Chains A and B, each alone.
Chain A
Amino acid sequence: MIRLLKGVFGDWDGYALLGYESVPIGAISGDIVLGGDVDSGGCSFGTASFGSYQ
């Protein structure tokens, strides 16, 4: 059904884009919402995770 609607509403494209321009300068660890993403069409980013294998 969703596929059938594509012709009616035209564009099903979506995107999620992330630069880091809103991230504070400095150290990052663990789980963090980085923000600054631009989303469309139901695409998006979740919470980022950082860790180390040292």
Chain B
Amino acid sequence: MAADAECYQKTVDDRTIILNLRSWYSHPFLAGDWLDLRFGFFLSLTQPVADDATTGLGETMGLPDIIGPHDRYFIGVSKNHPGTGGPLRRPLPRRPGQPPVPPPSPASVFIGFTNATGRFPGIHTGDSLLVNSDAGAGAGTQYWRPANSLNSGWGAAIFEETTARAVIRDNVQQHFPADAGTVAAGYATFLAIQLLRDTVDLKTVTVKLKSSVKSGDWFFSNTPTKESIQATLAQPWPPSVQMGPIAMGDLPNAFYFYWPFRKSRLRIHSIGLLRAA
């Protein structure tokens, strides 16, 4: 059986997890009674085989091959279901001439970055793209930017069961350095999510994502360490877009990463959470 991921020594100070093609990584956490819970992670991309190469990653996944949630990226937090792969469930086999069958058990919760706007297979909601980009939403060579062909600004959402409870339609685009030599600040992208609620027994949450013009990136770093995550998350939360408040049926309890493309792999350098209140 092929491995789902590998561990790779990127630099002396950076040992990273590389997800194999179309593999997922779910990491449950405990955070206690929180009012302000912050998640951060350093991410980057590499080629399907080479562990540290960022050229030629561009890809378009469209009809007739794109059939469901496995063709969208998901980077964020989810409700962990041991043994099922977090919020994504494998759909039943498609019968000849019949539409795809939805997953047998609907997913429960996902909050984070994605180019999905619907999760039922068979409903085409845009091609899944990884494009060469500038630091915004334009063409360029410095970054790789995941996108959706229907709206290049789609970049984050809250899903519950098979329903999109909220979708961010612009200004949270994520960028991954395409050539470390041209991105002076570093090879890894820092992204983060903030969850807020009024009391510890509430499942009504507000989600905030850092937002600037055509970007949800916080910064880029050549030292993507857990210590950097801790120091960053302790700072005042930056100007953001907001989802919610939304009354959820359940709350996330795991980090979740899934990268659908076949010409690139997702690298996770470090992850962390801070209960700020």
Q: Do A19 and B225 touch (CB < 8 A)?
A: yes
Q: How many residues of B contact A (CB 8 A)?
A: 54
| Bound complex: CA A30 to CA B82 (Å) | 11
A52 touches B23 (CB 8 A): yes
Q: Could you tell me which residues of chain B, from 152 to 195, have a CB within 8 Å of some CB in chain A?
A: none
B230 x A15 contact (CB < 8 A): yes
B276 within 8 A of A: yes
- Write out, one digit per residue, whether chain A residues 19-49 have a CB within 8 A of any chain B CB (1) or not (0): 1110111111111001000100111111111
Number of A-B contacts (CB under 8 A): 142
| Separation of A25 and B86 alpha carbons in the complex (Å) | 25
CB distance from B133 to the nearest CB of A (A): 26
Assess the B30–A46 pair: CB atoms within 8 A: yes
Contacting residue for B4 out of A2, A30, A45, CB 8 A: A30
Q: Which residues of A contact B29 (CB under 8 A)?
A: 16, 43-46
CB distance from A9 to the nearest CB of B (A): 14
- Which of A24, A43, A51 contacts B30 (CB under 8 A)? A43
Taking a contact as CB atoms under 8 Å apart, the answer to whether B4 and A51 are in contact is yes
> How many Å from the CB of A40 to the closest CB on chain B?
9
- How distant is the Cα of A44 from the Cα of B273 in the complex, in angstroms? 9
User: Bound complex: CA of A51 vs CA of B256, how far in Å?
Assistant: 11
Is there an interface contact between B83 and A49, defined as CB atoms closer than 8 Å?
yes
Q: How would residues 21 to 40 of chain B score, 1 for a CB under 8 Å from any chain A CB and 0 otherwise? A: 11111111111110000000
B199 to chain A, nearest CB (A): 9
Return chain B residues, CB-CB under 8 Å to A54: 2, 21-23
Chain A contributes a number of interface residues (CB within 8 A of B) equal to: 36
A44 to B27, CA, bound (A): 10
Are A48 and B15 in contact, with the CB atoms below 8 A? no
Contact A53 B4 (CB under 8 A): no
When the two chains form their complex, are residues B275 and A28 in contact, meaning their CB atoms are under 8 A apart? no
With A and B bound together, what is the CA distance between A45 and B25 in angstroms?
13
A50 in contact with B32 (CB, 8 Å): no
B20 contacts chain A at the CB level, 8 A cutoff:
yes
- Which residues of B sit under 8 angstroms from A50, Cβ to Cβ? 4-5, 19, 23-26
A23-B17, A51-B85, A53-B85 known; A14 and B4 CB under 8 Å?
no
Q: With A and B bound together, what is the CA distance between A18 and B227 in angstroms? A: 9
Q: Which residues of B contact A (CB under 8 A)?
A: 1-9, 15-17, 19-33, 70, 80, 82-83, 85-86, 88, 90, 225-227, 229-230, 233, 254, 258, 260, 268-277
Can you list 7 pairs linking A and B with CB atoms under 8 Å apart? A18-B226, A19-B269, A20-B16, A23-B15, A28-B6, A38-B226, A46-B29
